[in-house]
Amino acid sequence: MESVNLSFGVEGLRPDDLAGFFVGWPDPPSIDDRFGILSAADEVVIARDHDGVVIGFATAITDHRFAAYIPLVEVRPEHQRRRIGTEIVRALLDRLGTCYMVDLVCDDEVVPFYERLGGATPGSEEPRGGEALEAAPRAAAWLVRAGRASPSSTDQTCGRGDPGARRR
């Protein structure tokens, strides 16, 4: 794994630092919108390489007590498969450790990544809404009990995602 520096929040971040992300998204947010999204999030983890270049980030929306939702986990394509995403998500989960539950929705191809981190997928349960949700992304979800900062195989939950909430 390459050496990365993690920081929390958007202090020192510039909109131009967020170029090179959202690769493969059908309608990616503009550079200014990206910066606005990170600025508005309750929790932000930024990964920088040894030269200070932003190579990944994750955001969470949370009340810091009961629930959190992770809408974005992004790593530049040239830095993927180097455990940077793992480090970012673990750092974010540590910051969300007091939450009872942490949820996210992701595309099928990245479900194994979240499962390796302890996330649970919907499995065989029938989605609410029937066939309309068949094309929806599956959800990887954590149910974190108070005082625990990481998911456990004994207390995971799962559900189907909102079909309008396509995230990578």
What are the domain boundaries of the chain? Answer: 5-143
Strands in 43-48's sheet, in edge-to-edge order, are 5-8, 43-48, 54-62, 67-75, 101-105, 139-143
Tell me the C-alpha distance between 73 and 102, whole Å.
14
- Neighbouring C-beta atoms of residue 110, cutoff 10 Å: 17
**DSSP letters spanning 44-74:** EEEEE-TTS-EEEEEEEEE-SSSEEEEEEEE
Strand partners, 62: 68
Strand bridging mode 139-143 / 54-62 = unpaired
- Give the pLDDT confidence of 84-116 residue by residue, as tens digits: 999 999 999 999 988 888 888 888 788 888 888
Structure tokens at 18: 């967020």
Cα diameter, the chain: 49
- Neighbouring C-beta atoms of residue 162, cutoff 10 Å: 12
Task: Judge whether residue 125 has pLDDT over 50.
Answer: no
Tell me the C-alpha distance between 121 and 127, whole Å.
12
Tell me the C-alpha distance between 45 and 13, whole Å.
11
The band of 166, judged by pLDDT with boundaries at 50, 70 and 90, is: very low
Task: Judge whether residue 28 has pLDDT over 50.
Answer: yes
**CATH 3.40.720.10 is held by the domain 5-143:** no
Contact 73, 107 (CB under 8 A): no
The band of 143, judged by pLDDT with boundaries at 50, 70 and 90, is: very low
- In one-letter notation, the amino acid at residue 96 is L
Place of tokens 């099928």: 108
- Give the pLDDT confidence of 49-86 residue by residue, as tens digits: 999 999 999 999 999 999 999 999 999 999 999 999 99
26-30, 86-90, 154-158: lowest mean pLDDT where? 154-158
- Please give the mean pLDDT across all residues of the chain: 77
